[in-house]
Amino acid sequence: EDAGLYGVGVAMVLARGGYRMGLDVMKRFYLTTIEMTNKDPSYVWLLDWMSQSHKVGFQQMSVQSSAVIRCNEKSTSSFQLTPSPGRHFFFYNGRFILVNRKRFTDRGTDILETMELTTMGRSRDTMMQLLEEAMEYSTSKEADKTVIYF
């Protein structure tokens, strides 16, 4: 009777270890992940592209607001909805993309955000295409404009 319980306990410990090892092997050899911080221009490009793309629909969102003050003292304000911190997913070129956006407070008032995009497979091509499309979309919006940050 006791030997059976010990056997079940040992089997469960081995199964859990095998499951964790299998996940680690899968992450290492079968998933492609890119990570960027909010200090990188590609972070802004991707948020901009995800907020405007019809390919992506998120339910939990954050608001990004901007205001432009013109010479004639008229101002223009706008906002866009971006994926909030947390896990989201979408399909891009037939591939499942997992987005994990994290927000940290760094030494008081500085906010550091990271975004990880993960997809199945070993090829980087899908991620490169996504970054290029996001960059082209974002830079085409700013063409022929002067951007002033304040």
Q: Is the pLDDT of residue 117 over 90?
A: yes
Q: Please, are residues 35 and 112 in contact by the beta-carbon 8 Å criterion? A: no
Please report where in the chains the tokens 């290029």 appear, as a residue. 132
Q: What is the pLDDT of residue 149?
A: 54
Listed range (7-21, 35-49, 55-69) with the worst mean pLDDT = 55-69
d(CA 32, CA 3): 44
Please report where in the chains the tokens 């591939």 appear, as a residue. 95
Q: Please, are residues 47 and 83 in contact by the beta-carbon 8 Å criterion? A: yes
β partners of residue 63: 81
> Model-level pTM?
0.68
* Residue 7, both tokens: 């056997």
Q: Using alpha carbons only, give the angle 116, 119, 120 rounded to the nearest 5 degrees.
A: 150
Model confidence at 148, pLDDT cuts 50, 70, 90, reads low
Type of residue found at 36? M
Q: Are strands 61-69 and 75-83 parallel, antiparallel or unpaired?
A: antiparallel
